[in-house]
Structure 1
Amino acid sequence: MKSPRDWDKPQVILAVFTGIALVALITAASTSAASFGIYNSAWDGSSKLSAEAEATGSTVTVARSVEEYDSVPPKGTIAFVLSPDKPYNPSARQNLQQFVQNGGTLVIAEDFGSHSNALVQALGVNARFDGHLVRDDRYNYQSPALPVAHNVKNHSYTENVSALTLNHGTAIRTQNGSAIVQSSGYAYLDTTPNSKLDNNETITNHSVVTTHSVGQGQVVLVSDPSIFINSMLERPGNKAFVQNLVSEHENVLLDTSHTSQLPPLMAAVLFIRDSAAAQILLGGSGIFGLIVWGFHAKKVKSRIPNRADPEYRQSQEMNAEAMSSYLQQKHPEWEQDRTERVVTSLQDQYRKE
């Protein structure tokens, strides 16, 4: 036998689906599917990079424009640029160059993108990302395309790091930098490319992390941005490497200025955070809303039915005819007295609530 609540099942189902849709909408608006994205919590995102930085006690800033480099003190700040999607124009390059010259540390991680080498050159660093896949048939994690670089030099960034695991990375060609992590001597660049060692390809050590002094600061090149993604941080050495990078700095700047767009909700949050006018407008709107609610609360409350009100109960009981009509349509095989008994039973249950 149905209870009075059963009459509201369509509304309940609608409410549930509305709730699910709302949660999905908020999730979509606050997350990103962009590879290496700071707000991407999937395997190819870098949301854990931000979490690791915060765990060390560093102050984390998500930079939507290069002007935000001016908002942090260069000394004591490390900035991350992960495989930018578009080139840095001369003005933007100048911002980054000034940041490094004045004592900042800039990490540029790239594999096959076409925009990082121009930035490296503009910084005065004599090094380039090769752009070909580095493979290692002997020392790798599950696949030669995931080489394990275990030639690690003594450096503050490599403390407790026995090796780094790449995921379809490349190599760094440099003449004046210091290679602090290199592949094994069995690695080669797949220049063909055909996923195998050809006669024109040579097995040798390849640099995967290099450091370069620029002015009072430093540029760190990493030949695979995948080292910083969520799934690869779990590989031995990768997380320790990230922790070493950020723990030496009080501030961490995550440069998203030249990568895929931020999710709408996070963009709005960051805009409000950085805009005094937006904060005043939002705060004023909230206060105005409270005032309006105060004036109309009684009116709104008066329109909400009171189940204990005798008149309300009487109006509900008057729906007996509608209930009876519904049951007759639903169960035409029922006799009239059976229909009446069901209606009476439902009304009795309703009165007891």
Structure 2
Amino acid sequence: MENTNITSSYLKLIYDGEDLKNHEMDAMELALIIEGLNNLFLEFNSELNSDLTTIKLKVKANFEKGSFGVEFIVEVLKNIEVLLNSSPVTATLTAIEIINMLKNLFNFIKIMKGNISEKDNSAIKIEEDGTIYAKNIEDTNIKYEYTEDTDTTEIKDGDTITTKTKSKKMIKLCYNGSVRKNVEKIIFPIKRNNGIENLKIVYDNAEIQYVADKSTVDFYKAPDVISDRKNKTYRKEVVLRINKLSFNETSKWTLYNVDIPKISVLIEDKKFLNNVKYNKEHFSKDDELRVILRIEEFYRNDKRVIEYFVEEVLEHIKAVETPYIPFLD
């Protein structure tokens, strides 16, 4: 973790209602909520940080009288080495900023009554201070002020992510089909269960956000069609440890590092593959590869898919050998 910077933040989802007075919730309902929030933050990480960071969601159960509450700790792990080698205009949001983005997302969907369409994005105007002017479902202009957080994200060349930029990113999340479907998973226990009345979120600064009740739950239903399903491709130089290698050119290797969990990677570097084939490369435990990694993101059957390719192996880093020291009686 030597080259890793970790930021963390906290939020607590509290569901209220008659069915929850004994602090009990149906296990399937709870599983859907946790899955929805976890997937939501993974999608945030992809959209806001271009997967240059790793995001972790930790769960801690907590109870209040007449309700069911679940505490979450959100961690964002930044690999300093990866960020230094990334584009000069790349900036990544901290855990606090991502949580703040979530708060604004819920507020904006609610104030717009769910009526947000990329097809009519001309109806949304963003001022320099981040204030959003948009037409709601009744075709009435609404003013929404993006709530800023205390963190300031600096870009590599010294600029900062402005509130206007964050407002744009928040609007982009509203157009993301996966984001909207996972928001729906978190909100819709209120719709499915007559005994659950409302949801509020408590943030780490003790701010309470009343998100939804029976009268507003339909605002959070994901639109049937959201047209933002754009494929993404990006590259980065990274050092990955070999977990599993293959002598078949068409088979994938398993690689990882402290910030990237084990991923299946197809190696495209023909020179390197030939060296492997003709035994010019020799491997031992804990060997690493410094590579140009290409990440392709697309959607298949309405699910986000990420595939990994090594375009070029820049260096085969041999593991440090521990010398054998014989013991004498």
TM-score computed with the length of structure 1 as normaliser: 0.22
Q: Which of structures 1 and 2 has the larger relative contact order (alpha carbons within 8 angstroms, sep 6+)?
A: 1
Instruction: Please state which structure has a larger fraction of its residues in strand.
Output: 2
TM-score computed with the length of structure 2 as normaliser: 0.23
Instruction: Please state which structure has a larger fraction of its residues in helix.
Output: 1
